[in-house]
A = this chain, B = another copy of it.
């Protein structure tokens, strides 16, 4: 395929203001237009395309907005070939020139080999790279080595509204023939070295409420005779993690997968300039000194963060209030093979234990507000081997085998609902700035990424 054509298409797609976050009708219309443009392109490739009506969403303010359709497309159904399903999204985060964009965010602009524009790397560029790879076979009048399916949504940045229900409905229809799933919605951890992502952490988000009474007190007229709810809460939150980042909840590490020799080797192989990483993070010192420890504590060990307190005095200035009812918030990033409901039990038991030792007359309530499972794939699965080979062919190097410390529910959703192996093949570089101002994808990444996908088709065909 002509790389110039790929750039023209990316320019057209970036020009569509398919912002799914801001609820204005203009953006919603643009979202629908975006999906229609994609449908048209896939049809011109010869795909069988269904545009699934997703109904509408109710916003907290009562407003009702139509949800853009999800595209389910199929290209080829040769039962002797592997069927690879690609997930992508065509909606984008909000972007406003006034926020600090140096160029119009909806006008793809090339500067020094970098293609700036909202959605360039997240996720329009990678979706187009996949389409480019397919159309290259078409242009060369070659048979596709694999059957291809697409699931493309327009609500990812808004929480993939209603997508899970659709997957459930389609698991024995659209997804029945699918062998492998590919997602390309994250980044390398390097500027130059490609990567394959095989895991993400889960998350269990807790609230712990301590209540003396509903109203606040004045610290002059009540200070000294109360079990103060803030003193209780601070003690509870202070019992969760020590100053070395070690979580103090009994049993919490019991189910964490042991580190294997093979795993250590994948960490050693990763290119990471720790000093540059520390500087770009603006952090004086990390908890650990080696690349391997840093990455393992971001990816394969749980972490506990205290986010804040609701109901206490949180403004500038000096208010002499004794808060009557406060809610502490913290979360634990989960890793294989931690179990969400076991973690819920362990945390609750631990907090109840700490609280009971205080002999406080206040009431404590612990709740888990959110429980998302971690995801991990077997890196010896066929599509991992195929992806590695494809990357070696295109880039001449082995990829970094990486995980993501945050939670990307989509991979786990595919694994749990569709029961297929998922691989994430990011195309963008670590400095692409997804979600922030001046988002870009490097011209080089976009073109070489297209080649990786094409090579991946060949490798899949060979290995399947």
Contact = CB atoms under 8 A, between A and B. Distances in A.
Contact of A358 (B235, B243, B315): B243
B220 A306 contact: no
A238 B234 contact: yes
Given A237-B234, A314-B309, A370-B318, A213 B283 contact: yes
B288 A225 contact: yes
A316 B310 contact: yes
A285 interface: yes
B306 A314 contact: no
B245 A224 contact: yes
A29 interface: no
A282 B359 CA distance: 18
Interface in A366-425: 369-370, 404-407
Given A205-B318, A232-B243, A307 B219 contact: yes
Nearest to A322: B305
B221 A283 contact: no
A329 interface: yes
Contacts of A228: 241, 245, 305-306
A413 B308 CA distance: 39
Given A237-B234, A307-B312, A312-B308, A226 B286 contact: yes
A330 to B, nearest CB: 8
Interface string A294-320: 100110011111111110111110111
Contacts of A218: 406
A77 interface: no
A298 B224 contact: yes
A50 to B, nearest CB: 33
A261 to B, nearest CB: 22
A233 B330 CA distance: 14
Interface residues of A, number: 76
A288 B228 CA distance: 13
A443 to B, nearest CB: 26
A227 interface: yes
B305 A310 contact: no
B232 A235 contact: no
A118 interface: no
Contacts of A203: 220, 320
Interface in A308-342: 308-310, 312-316, 318-323, 329, 331, 333
B321 A308 contact: yes
A287 B223 contact: no
A405 B220 contact: yes
Given A286-B225, A360-B243, A230 B405 contact: no
Copies of the chain in the assembly: 2
A220 B359 CA distance: 35
A362 interface: yes
Contact of A329 (B237, B285, B313, B360): B313
A301 B224 contact: yes
Interface in A222-254: 222-228, 230-232, 234-235, 237-238, 241, 243, 245
A320 B307 contact: yes
A63 interface: no
Contacts of A313: 307-308, 310, 329
A65 to B, nearest CB: 20
Contacts of A285: 227, 361
A313 B6 CA distance: 43
A201 interface: yes
A197 B108 CA distance: 74
Contacts of A212: 283-284
Query: A203, A207, A219, A321: which has the most chain B beta carbons within 10 Å?
Result: A219
A373 to B, nearest CB: 14
Contacts of A369: 318
Interface of A: 201, 203, 205, 207, 212-215, 218-228, 230-232, 234-235, 237-238, 241, 243, 245, 281-288, 294, 297-298, 301-310, 312-316, 318-323, 329, 331, 333, 357-362, 369-370, 404-407
- Across the A-B interface, the 9 shortest Cβ-Cβ residue pairs: A220-B406, A308-B313, A308-B312, A224-B303, A285-B361, A223-B303, A314-B314, A238-B238, A224-B297
